[in-house]
């Protein structure tokens, strides 16, 4: 089983999660929805706010059970060049949860504008395809 969980303050990461979910045929759900059962691939996403990952998303990652989650694929949005990768990878590494080398970070998204362009949409499709053929 695969799952998508995300945290989104402005709606941009939610939009990305839903687009990714459409490609993978998985319903994207917020981190408020607990994981059930064993998850082979967890797509975990969020945005960068004032150079940091939101504490709620960090806490979700800290609470993941390495017996329940086999591998995590990170994704995120940002108005700048910063990503959720470094901060979440550090937490997941401490939990001994594998973080996939494939990730998806969309940059230049301004709050609440949801301006995911055609090039970024193609990136989402490519990311979805790469992660299911591994």
Q: What is the pLDDT of residue 10?
A: 84
CATH number assigned to the domain comprising residue 20: 3.40.50.360
Report pLDDT digits (tens) over 82-110.
677 888 999 999 999 999 999 888 876 65
Alpha-carbon separation of residue 129 from 9, 16, 20, 47, 104 (angstroms): 27, 15, 10, 22, 12
The answer to whether 70 and 40 are in contact (CB under 8 A) is yes
Q: What is the pLDDT of residue 37?
A: 92
Per the structure, the complete domain to which residue 97 belongs is given by: 2-132
The answer to whether 53 and 46 are in contact (CB under 8 A) is yes
Report pLDDT digits (tens) over 6-64.
999 888 899 999 999 999 999 999 999 999 999 999 999 998 776 678 889 999 999 99
* Number of H-type helices and E-type strands within the chain: 4, 7
* Number of independent structural domains in the chain: 1
């Amino acid at each position: 089983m695969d799952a998508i969980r995300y945290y989104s303050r402005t709606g941009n990461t939610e939009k990305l999660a839903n687009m990714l979910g459409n490609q993978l045929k998985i319903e994207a759900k917020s981190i408020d929805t607990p994981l059930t059962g064993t998850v082979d691939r967890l797509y975990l996403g969020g945005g960068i706010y004032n150079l940091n990952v939101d504490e709620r998303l960090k806490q979700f990652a800290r609470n993941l059970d390495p017996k329940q989650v086999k591998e995590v694929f990170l994704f995120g949005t940002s108005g700048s060049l910063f990503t959720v990768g470094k901060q979440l990878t550090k937490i997941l590494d401490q939990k001994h949860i594998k973080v996939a080398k494939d990730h998806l970070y969309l940059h230049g998204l301004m709050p609440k504008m949801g301006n995911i362009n055609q090039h970024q949409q193609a990136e989402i499709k490519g990311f979805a395809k790469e992660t299911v053929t591994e």
